């Protein structure tokens, strides 16, 4: 997900579960990286698990160079806005190229690049 810099254990990921923010004042759910409630503006937020399934609202393909290795080949990457079935919208990396329709269904998965690291991304749901 694109929620700031990647660190070894992202705060919105717990044991391969995508975590949303729940307002302690009004119970509204907000995106994983939110600092305040999207409904009431409250700043007292707890983390709650997401169902991890949603629909693509919008996506685009960008090119990037791999971070590791000597190859300087540009690699296509799909980034998207995903509307989670839980309600909030979030920015996300999409594995592969999503179907042409904008409401393609996706499910969260986790990359385990190094021990202790978990990076969420979405794949097209069958």
For the chain, domain boundaries: 13-124
List the one residue out of 100, 99, 17, 10 whose CA is nearest residue 53. Answer: 17
Rounded distance between C-alpha atoms, residue 27 and residue 55, angstroms? 23
Q: Does pLDDT of 4 surpass 70?
A: no
Q: Which class does domain 13-124 fall in?
A: mainly beta
Rounded distance between C-alpha atoms, residue 22 and residue 35, angstroms? 11
Contact in structure between 98 and 80 (CB atoms under 8 Å):
yes
What token pair was written down for 69? 């290795």
What token pair was written down for 43? 């700043």
Q: What is the pLDDT of residues 8-52, one digit of tens each?
A: 344 445 567 899 999 999 999 999 889 999 899 999 999 999 999
What pTM, to 2 d.p., does this model score? 0.74
Rounded distance between C-alpha atoms, residue 61 and residue 57, angstroms? 14
List the one residue out of 77, 37, 33, 39 whose CA is nearest residue 59. Answer: 77
Alpha helices in 50-114 (DSSP H): none
Q: What is the pLDDT of residues 74-103, one digit of tens each?
A: 777 888 999 999 999 999 889 877 777 767
Rounded distance between C-alpha atoms, residue 48 and residue 27, angstroms? 11
């Amino acid at each position: 997900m694109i929620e700031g810099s990647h660190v070894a254990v992202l705060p919105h990921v717990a044991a391969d579960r995508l975590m949303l923010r729940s307002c302690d004042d009004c119970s509204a759910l907000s995106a994983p990286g939110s600092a305040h409630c999207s409904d009431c503006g409250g700043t007292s937020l707890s983390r709650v698990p997401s169902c991890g399934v949603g629909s693509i609202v919008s996506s685009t393909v960008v090119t990037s160079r791999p971070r590791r290795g000597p190859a300087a080949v540009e690699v296509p990457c799909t980034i998207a806005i995903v509307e989670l079935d839980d309600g909030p919208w979030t920015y996300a990396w999409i594995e592969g190229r999503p179907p042409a329709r904008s409401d393609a269904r996706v499910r969260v998965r986790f990359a385990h690049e190094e021990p202790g690291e978990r990076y969420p991304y979405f794949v097209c749901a069958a």
